[in-house]
Every structure is written in structure tokens, then in C-alpha cells.
């Protein structure tokens, strides 16, 4: 089957649109952020806000933002990670690369699909407040499934402490109808209950704002969506933690690029290396986080 690719402009953002066997992928060079993934048939896999703004220096709401070299609030990270940034008082949420331009370093189209490779290299784009020599690479494969590989290389002479996440926004029919399977029995940090530890009983269902960091997570998770009669499968390697987030009604009203009712149709499941699963890369070491996503009818 044919694969096509083109570079297009969306507002301030240069983006790449890839088509393969009826599926379509849209990625911005800013943040190497997947904005849209439309399978060959059925509903979109990835959610993108109807109020998305394509502005330079601002992460687009939806898709798959890359959180690196820390996840979330820097102050909630392990001390070694907190100490990597020289201006902790104004550290941006979710790290330093989701709103910076990455370089397209590879575009490989074959019969089984297309692979886009983006890189962010502190040698080419130094960050004064984060004085480390590192390269981050995101490989995105569009084929039967959507496969992401996020690789960090420590190019410096010192240890490199990081936390990270692929902050994936999934499209769902109605958050009140779906459940997540695979997290049964896992412990999680409930960031809405003063970060206390809780144990997950049964499948994860939703009846209010949810913002949890699951630990010791398995390599396979599933979103079951009875209304759209599908399962979304997530298979990961190199991630032992996952963030589950839905803002629900009140927080939705406070979010940028987010319609008041948008909470109903989205669910974030973010494969991560955070908290006890955070990383310290030795000089010269590299670390890879892989996630594969696909949908199947129920
Ligand atoms: O991953 C969950 C979370 O940390 C939520 O607490 C919420 O802040 C979300 O990320 C979105 O963050 P953003 O900075 O993109 O608005």
C-alpha cells in the first residue's frame, strides 16, 4: 500500500502529515508532538482539543506531548531531578521540550508503514538553566499500529537524573462509560488526596476528577469503550509507571485550549518513568521507553 508524506503549516507550527493504508498521522516539529492519529477505520485513537491553538512556544492541547526531562511539577520530583534545573521557582510543568522545536532526522517509508524520527539535542539547542549534554529522540511508526520510542542519550560526563512521560490523550466516547483494565491491584499516588498511596481495586472507572500516578504497572493496559464498541490496547516497554488523568467538570473550565464539555471525550493514560520509577543515566548511557497503541472492535 502507498505511503505519502508532506510538510504543512498549521498556524505557527510546521507539521508533517503521513498517510499509509488509509491511516493518517499529523506531527508538529514543535515538541515532536503527535497531534492526530486517524486509523484506517473507526474513531480516532488520539484526542485533540477542538480549541487547540497552534502557537509557537505553547504545547498544543491533546495528542501526545513529550514530558522530559521531568514530568509534572518539578518540585514533586525526586531531589536529584529537582537539582538539575537552576531556576526551580519558575520551572515549567512537564519539562523543557514539549514547546521547543525538534529536528526531523529521519523519514523512512516502506510497505509496512512510515517512521518519522525527531531529535532534540542540547548541543544544538543549549538550555542555560538545564546544563546537561543530552540527546532525546522520538521515533514514531505509523503502520498497523502506532508505535512510539523515546530514547534519551546522556552525552555528558555526569550522571543524568530524569523523569519522563508520553502524555497521551486518548479519544473515548464518554469517560463515564469507559474503564481501564490492567491496573487491578496496583498501588497509585492520588494527587487529589494529598498524594496519599491507594490500592486499585478492580478496573479503573471514572466518576469525577482523576489524577493518579500508578506504580509497578504491567506492560499491557486496555481501555474498554462499550459505546464505541472497541478496546484500545497499550503495550509498553521500559515504563514502570503510568499517569491516569481526566479533569472532569470544574478543572475543565480552568484548562487552556479546552472546551467546558471536552472532559467527556478524552482520557489521558501516560506511560512514564516517574517517582520511584524515575531514571539516572550514567555518562554515555541511553534509555528507551516504547509504547505501541492500537484499537480492536469489542
Ligand atoms: O498528567 C496529568 C497532569 O499533570 C494534570 O495534573 C494536568 O496538569 C495535566 O497534566 C495537563 O497539564 P498541562 O500543563 O498540559 O495543562
Question: Which ligand 1 atom lies nearest to the CA of residue 256?
Answer: 16
Cβ count near 84 (within 10 Å): 21
Q: Read off the pTM.
A: 0.98
Residue 120, ligand 1, Cβ within 6 A: no
The preferred substitution site among 59, 70, 165, 245 for testing ligand 1, maximizing ligand atoms within 8 Å of CB, is 245
Residue 182, ligand 1, Cβ within 6 A: no
Please provide residue 163's backbone torsions phi and psi, each rounded to the nearest 5 degrees: -125, 160
For ligand 1, atom 16: residue with the closest CA:
255
Residue 204, ligand 1, Cβ within 6 A: no
Look at residue 184 in the predicted model and tell me its pLDDT.
98
Question: Which ligand 1 atom lies nearest to the CA of residue 73?
Answer: 4
Q: What is the pLDDT of residues 88-106, one digit of tens each?
A: 999 999 999 999 999 999 9
Average pLDDT of the chain is 97
Would you state the torsion angle of the CA atoms of residues 290, 76, 249, 229, taken in this order, to the nearest 10 degrees? Answer: 20
Cβ count near 228 (within 10 Å): 19
Is 271 in the active site?
Answer: no
Residue 1 confidence (pLDDT) above 70: no
Q: What is the pLDDT of residues 108-157, one digit of tens each?
A: 998 889 999 999 999 999 999 999 999 999 999 999 999 999 999 999 99
Is 51 in the active site?
Answer: no
Tell me which residue range forms the domain holding 57: 3-297
Q: What is the pLDDT of residues 242-261, one digit of tens each?
A: 999 999 999 999 999 999 99
Give the list of residues 6+ apart from residue 221 with CB closer than 8 angstroms, or none: 180, 181, 182, 183, 233, 234, 236, 242, 269
Q: What is the pLDDT of residues 44-74, one digit of tens each?
A: 999 999 999 999 999 999 999 999 999 999 9
Cα–Cα distance for residue pair 251/101, rounded to 1 Å: 29
| The total number of structural domains that make up the chain | 1
Exactly one of 37, 94, 141, 167 is catalytic; name it.
167
**Confidence at 2, pLDDT banded by 50, 70, 90:** confident
Residue 272, ligand 1, Cβ within 6 A: no
The answer to whether 161 and 144 have CB atoms below 8 angstroms apart is: no
For ligand 1, atom 10: residue with the closest CA:
72
Residue 72, ligand 1, Cβ within 6 A: yes
Domain of 100: which CATH number?
A: 2.70.98.10
**Chain center to CA of 72:** 12
Greatest Cα pair distance in the chain? 52
Residue 215 confidence (pLDDT) above 70: yes
Amino acid at each position: 500500500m502507498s505511503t505519502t508524506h508532506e510538510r504543512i503549516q498549521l498556524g505557527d507550527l510546521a507539521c508533517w502529515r503521513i498517510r499509509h493504508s488509509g491511516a493518517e498521522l499529523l506531527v508538529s516539529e514543535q515538541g515532536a508532538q503527535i497531534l492526530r492519529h486517524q486509523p484506517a477505520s473507526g474513531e480516532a485513537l488520539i484526542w485533540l482539543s477542538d480549541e487547540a491553538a497552534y502557537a509557537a512556544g505553547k504545547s498544543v492541547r491533546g495528542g501526545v506531548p513529550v514530558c522530559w526531562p521531568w514530568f509534572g511539577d518539578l518540585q514533586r520530583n525526586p531531589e536529584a531531578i529537582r537539582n538539575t534545573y537552576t531556576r526551580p521557582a519558575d520551572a515549567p510543568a512537564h519539562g523543557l521540550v514539549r514547546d521547543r522545536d525538534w529536528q526531523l532526522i529521519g523519514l523512512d517509508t516502506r510497505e509496512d508503514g512510515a517512521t518519522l524520527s525527531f531529535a532534540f539535542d542540547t548541543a544544538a539547542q543549549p538550555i542555560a538553566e538545564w546544563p546537561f549534554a543530552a540527546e532525546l529522540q522520538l521515533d514514531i511508526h505509523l503502520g498497523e499500529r502506532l508505535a512510539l520510542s523515546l530514547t534519551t542519550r546522556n552525552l555528558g560526563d555526569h550522571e543524568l537524573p530524569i523523569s519522563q512521560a508520553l502524555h497521551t490523550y486518548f479519544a473515548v466516547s464518554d469517560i463515564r462509560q469507559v474503564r481501564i483494565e490492567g491496573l487491578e491491584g496496583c498501588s497509585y499516588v492520588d494527587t487529589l488526596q494529598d498524594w496519599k498511596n491507594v490500592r486499585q481495586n478492580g478496573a479503573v472507572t471514572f466518576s469525577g476528577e482523576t489524577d493518579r500516578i500508578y506504580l509497578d504497572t504491567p506492560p499491557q493496559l486496555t481501555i474498554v469503550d462499550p459505546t464505541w464498541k472497541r478496546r484500545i490496547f497499550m503495550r509498553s516497554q521500559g515504563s514502570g509507571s503510568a499517569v491516569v488523568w481526566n479533569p472532569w467538570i470544574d478543572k475543565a473550565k480552568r484548562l487552556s485550549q479546552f472546551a467546558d464539555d471536552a472532559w467527556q471525550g478524552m482520557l489521558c493514560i501516560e506511560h512514564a518513568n516517574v517517582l520511584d520509577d524515575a531514571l539516572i543515566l550514567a555518562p554515555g548511557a541511553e534509555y528507551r521507553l516504547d509504547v505501541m497503541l492500537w484499537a480492536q472492535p469489542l
